[in-house]
Amino acid sequence: MVKIQRTLPAPASLAVEADKPSGSYRELDVIEQLRKDFHDKCYLCGIKKLQDPEVEHLLPHKNGKYPERKFDWNNLFLSCGHCNSIKNQTKYDGGILDCCVQDPEEVIDFRFQEGNVDMVAKEGADEKVALTVDLLQEVFNKKNTGMRVYKCEMRLQELNKEMNVLYDKLEVLKERPDSRITLRTLKALLRRESAFAAFKRYYIREHKEQFPQLSDF
């Protein structure tokens, strides 16, 4: 989960659809703007190039019980189906951290160790952040159905792969600290736009003494 810069104003279809008896918050302009703003990534697990992107409501509209939430641009997020379904539990109804307002990397340690995620709320973080950490842990570990076993493992494998690419490049950098090509690759790997960016960026922050040349990334 990384900080997202949401484009304003809201896509035009939202106001039009909100006035219809059964309007849709999934018109093309909404989907296109969400994919652009969220870098085509699920805002929760961080997986990229979503095959079945979904529009997730940060605060649930509960089948129209809260119509004002249903078409509120600031309440719409891009997620994968797996994360959307895991977030759909009453314990998350009060809302989690809004990554368009607050920078998740400032309040959460995105640790990845021995093939698993180990996220922790930083000291002094509020209840919403703690709840967000619970949810993020669940999207990689909630294996209560056969399909979720598969989907969690797939995400962990993808994350593992991405971390290994990072570690490999860091090894190259240790041997050739000034290699421009390696630095360029690392810069791309550490962009907020990249897959699982928060985990990679956290690793670099934790090892910043070893890689001072990456501090700008």
Note the residues at the interface with Zn ion (CB under 5 A).
42, 44-45, 80, 83
Q: Tell me whether strands 54-57 and 76-79 are parallel, antiparallel or unpaired.
A: antiparallel
Give me the least distance between CB of 178 and Zn ion, in Å please: 37
Please state, in angstroms and rounded to a whole number, the distance separating the CA atoms of residues 61 and 47.
25
State both tokens at 97: 């951290």
- Which of 136, 214 has the CB closer to Zn ion? 136
Give me the least distance between CB of 170 and Zn ion, in Å please: 26
- Which of 135, 190 has the CB closer to Zn ion? 135
- Which of 40, 185 has the CB closer to Zn ion? 40
Give me the least distance between CB of 84 and Zn ion, in Å please: 8
The CA distances from residue 42 to 20, 21, 47, 49, 155, in Å, are 29, 29, 6, 9, 11
Give me the least distance between CB of 31 and Zn ion, in Å please: 16
Q: Where are the alpha helices (DSSP H) in the chain?
A: 13-18, 28-37, 67-70, 81-87, 104-107, 127-141, 146-175, 180-189, 197-206
Please state, in angstroms and rounded to a whole number, the distance separating the CA atoms of residues 133 and 150.
21
Q: Are 3 and 103 in contact (CB under 8 A)?
A: yes
Three-state secondary structure call for residue 16: helix
Give me the least distance between CB of 146 and Zn ion, in Å please: 18
- Which of 77, 203 has the CB closer to Zn ion? 77
Give me the least distance between CB of 145 and Zn ion, in Å please: 16
- Which of 36, 208 has the CB closer to Zn ion? 36
Q: Are 152 and 143 in contact (CB under 8 A)?
A: yes
- Which of 45, 197 has the CB closer to Zn ion? 45
